[in-house]
């Protein structure tokens, strides 16, 4: 499954946030925790549609879909030169699919800042530079050899060389790979490199508990938002400290607490939703009296592969999918009514799954 890596300088609130994530995840039933690595936190994806389906089917069990965060602590200035086990942490980032970049926007005299002052843009640029330098090293390791092969008219090498040249130029200006315009072939040629700066980024502005209700009054948050806009990235404002408090509350207590703070969703829930979006993920549901369950798929996935997310047998023996959209089901009031209204569709192996599809897969065993 896809995962988002939490990165940031020391003392910005990463561990506090990650603890909130694991705490929230620990309340989830039905998860084989023993197989999870210590730096991986799994949370359930909040989805109001699941509540509605619950009211309709009264199932014995309701199972939300999950989302994974990976804690990548220890990035410091100089990491790309191996400073503070830097290379190891950078290698960990290579394995994730998106980056949640935590930035300190809270003042607290008792908590030292690595560079001695609160300056979120400087922090962002420090980390981003390490990522660029690390990518640059990857390019430098490879570019001469590919250049030689390209001269010998090797077709694949010509494409790769052209891509690496464009990237090198961008890296020399401190620009991330995701800002470089590449052809489809070039994109494909550089995919195996897993360039750090080619991954989508979400900036997580960690504010003080007093600022979460009106974050725009915080000039640090404003600065991060402006930076992100230029970067083509998104921002989520949270208070890691509050998230760790929220994570200890159950459903109803949590709602009361959020209301007191003037929030309609916890920062963690907003972070999950935006990360899900950033990774191009969507949800389909299976629903019956026994169980209502949400499943995550990547946008563009076809029905047999979506079935394979439940079980490989479902994909192998796929016959068809019976589908009703969430909207149609809610309008009709029940599956039977939706069927009567002609809203239950039979879809074949080329059907592209849509967010909110309620599915019954038919398959041969
Ligand atoms: P990390 O090094 O990035 O993992 O940072 P930590 O999560 O360990 O946080 C560093 C310090 O900042 C800890 O003492 C936290 O309690 C504190 N901290 C984290 N988030 C907040 C916050 O939202 N407000 C305040 N005042 N302190 C925070």
3-class DSSP state of 266: coil
215 Ramachandran zone, left/alpha/beta (phi>0; psi -120 to 50): alpha
DSSP structure string for 223-239:
HHHHHHHHHT-EEEEE-
- Give the Å distance between the CA of 96 and the centre of ligand 1: 23
Distance 248 CA to ligand 1 centre (A): 17
pLDDT higher than 70, residue 133: yes
Q: What pLDDT score was predicted for residue 172?
A: 97
Cα(254) to ligand 1 centroid in Å equals 21
Residue 122 backbone class (left: φ over 0; alpha: ψ -120 to 50; beta: rest): alpha
Q: Tokens 């940031």 identify what position? A: 8
Q: Where does the pLDDT of residue 347 fall: very low under 50, low under 70, confident under 90, or very high at 90 and above?
A: very high
- Predicted local distance difference test score (pLDDT) of residue 24: 74
Atom 25 of ligand 1: nearest residue by CA position? 208
- Asked if pLDDT for residue 92 goes beyond 60, the answer is yes
Closest atom of ligand 1 relative to the 238 alpha carbon: 23
CA 315 to ligand 1 centroid distance, Å = 45
Distances (CA, A) of 211 to 121, 221, 277, 282, 364: 19, 10, 25, 31, 56
Residue nearest to atom 20 of ligand 1 (CA): 13
- Classify the C-alpha dihedral 31-34-35-40 as positive or negative: positive
Is it the case that residue 115 has pLDDT exceeding 90? no
Residue 321: pLDDT band by 50, 70, 90 thresholds?
very high
Protein residues whose CB sits closer than 6 Å to any atom of ligand 1: 8, 10-16, 73, 106, 108, 111, 206, 208-209, 239-241
Angle CA(183)–CA(189)–CA(191) in degrees, nearest 5?
100
State the sign of the Cα–Cα–Cα–Cα dihedral 293, 295, 301, 307. Answer: negative
Pick the range with the lowest mean pLDDT from 58-72, 105-119, 164-178.
Answer: 105-119
Q: How confident is the model at residue 82 (pLDDT cuts 50, 70, 90)?
A: low
CA–CA distance, 26 with 43 (Å, rounded to integer):
8
The mean predicted confidence, pLDDT, of the chain is: 90
Alpha carbon of 97 to ligand 1 centroid (Å): 25
Return d(Cα 334, Cα 139) in angstroms, integer: 56
CA angle 304, 305, 306 (to 5 degrees): 90
**Short-list 38, 44, 34, 28, CA closest to 72:** 38
- Would you state the pLDDT for residue 86? 63
Mean pLDDT of 338-342: 95
Closest residue by Cα to residue 74 from 36, 102, 35: 102
32 band by pLDDT with thresholds 50, 70 and 90: very low
Q: Would you state the pLDDT for residue 27?
A: 56
pLDDT band at 77 (very low <50, low <70, confident <90, very high): confident
Greater model confidence, 216 or 227: 227
Q: Please give the CATH number for the structural domain made up of 3-47+65-119+198-278.
A: 3.40.50.300
Q: Is 13 assigned to a binding site?
A: yes
Question: Other C-beta atoms within 10 Å of 147: how many?
Answer: 15
Asked whether residue 31 carries a pLDDT value surpassing 60, the answer given is no
Lowest mean pLDDT among 29-43, 141-155, 321-335: 29-43
**Which residue's C-alpha comes closest to atom 11 of ligand 1?**
11
Please report the pLDDT score of residue 80 as a whole number.
Answer: 73
* Residues contacting 298, CB < 8 A, separation 6+: 2, 279, 280, 281, 282
Domain residue spans in the chain?
Answer: 3-47+65-119+198-278, 130-193, 300-363
Give pLDDT, residue 262. Answer: 83
Atom 24, ligand 1: residue with shortest CA distance: 208
pLDDT in tens, 240-282: 999 999 988 887 898 899 898 888 888 999 999 999 999 999 9
- Point out the ligand 1 atom lying closest to the alpha carbon of residue 106: 24
Please, which residues have CB within 8 angstroms of residue 284's CB and are 6 or more apart in sequence?
A: 294, 295, 297, 306, 353, 354, 355, 356, 357, 358, 359
Ligand 1 mean position, distance from CA 26 (Å): 21
Quote the CA–CA distance of 355 and 349 in Å, as a whole number. 17
- Ligand 1 atom nearest to 108, measured from its CA: 26
Equal fold, 3-47+65-119+198-278 vs 300-363: no
248 SS3 class? coil
Please provide the distance, in angstroms rounded to a whole number, between the alpha carbons at the two ends of the chain: 25
Give CA separation, 249 vs 27, 246, 255, 350, in Å.
10, 5, 9, 44
**Which of 19, 111, 207, 271 is the best mutation target for the ligand 1 pocket, counting ligand atoms within 8 Å of the beta carbon and taking the most?**
111
| pLDDT above 70 (res 208) | yes
DSSP 284-331: EEEE-SSEEEEEEEETT-BHHHHHHHH-HHHHHTEEEEEEEEHHHHHH
Highest mean pLDDT among 88-97, 219-228, 261-270: 219-228
- 14 among annotated binding-site residues: yes
- Rounded to 10°, the helix 120-151/219-231 angle is 20
% of the chain beyond a pLDDT of 70? 95
CATH 1.10.1060.10 fits 300-363, yes or no: no
8 annotated as belonging to a binding site for a ligand: no
Distance CA 332, CA 316 (A): 32
Q: Closest ligand 1 atom to the C-alpha of 10? A: 2
Look up the CATH architecture of domain 130-193.
Answer: Orthogonal Bundle (1.10)
Q: Is 15 annotated as a binding residue?
A: yes
Q: Ligand 1 centroid to 217 CA: how many Å?
A: 21
11 in a known ligand binding site: yes
Q: How far is the CA of 166 from the centre of ligand 1 (A)?
A: 39
| Residue 330 pLDDT exceeds 70 | yes
pLDDT category of residue 34 using cuts at 50, 70 and 90: very low
């Amino acid at each position: 499954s896809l995962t988002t890596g939490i990165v940031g300088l020391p003392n910005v609130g990463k561990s506090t946030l990650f603890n909130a994530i694991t705490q929230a995840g620990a309340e989830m039933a039905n998860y084989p925790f023993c197989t999870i690595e210590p730096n991986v936190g799994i949370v359930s994806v909040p989805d109001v549609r699941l509540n509605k389906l619950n009211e309709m089917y009264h199932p014995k069990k309701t199972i939300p879909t999950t989302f994974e965060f990976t804690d990548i602590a220890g990035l410091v200035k100089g990491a790309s030169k191996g400073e503070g086990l830097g290379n190891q942490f950078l290698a960990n980032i290579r394995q994730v699919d998106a980056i949640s970049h935590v930035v300190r926007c809270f003042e607290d005299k008792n908590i030292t800042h690595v560079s001695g002052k609160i300056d979120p843009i400087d922090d962002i640029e420090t980390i981003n530079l390490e990522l660029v330098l690390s990518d640059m090293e990857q390019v430098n390791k490879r570019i001469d050899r590919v250049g030689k092969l390209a001269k010998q008219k090797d077709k694949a090498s010509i494409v790769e060389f052209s891509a690496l040249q464009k990237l090198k130029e961008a890296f020399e200006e401190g620009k991330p790979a995701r800002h470089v315009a590449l052809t489809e072939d070039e994109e494909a040629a550089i995919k195996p490199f897993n360039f750090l700066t080619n991954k989508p980024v979400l900036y997580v502005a960690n504010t003080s508990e007093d600022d979460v209700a009106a974050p725009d009054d915080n000039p640090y948050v404003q600065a991060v938002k402006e930076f992100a806009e230029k970067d083509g990235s998104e921002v989520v404002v949270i208070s890691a400290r509050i998230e760790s408090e929220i994570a200890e509350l159950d459903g109803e207590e949590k709602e009361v607490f959020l209301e007191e703070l003037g929030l309609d969703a916890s920062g963690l829930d907003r972070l999950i939703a935006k990360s899900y979006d950033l990774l191009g993920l969507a949800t389909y549901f299976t629903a019956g009296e026994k169980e209502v369950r949400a499943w995550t798929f990547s946008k563009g996935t076809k029905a047999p592969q979506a079935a394979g997310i439940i079980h490989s047998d479902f994909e192998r023996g796929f016959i068809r999918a019976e589908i009703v959209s969430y909207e149609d089901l809610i309008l009709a009031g029940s599956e039977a009514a939706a069927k009567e209204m002609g809203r239950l569709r039979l879809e074949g192996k080329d059907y592209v799954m849509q967010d909110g599809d309620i599915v019954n897969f038919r398959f041969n065993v």
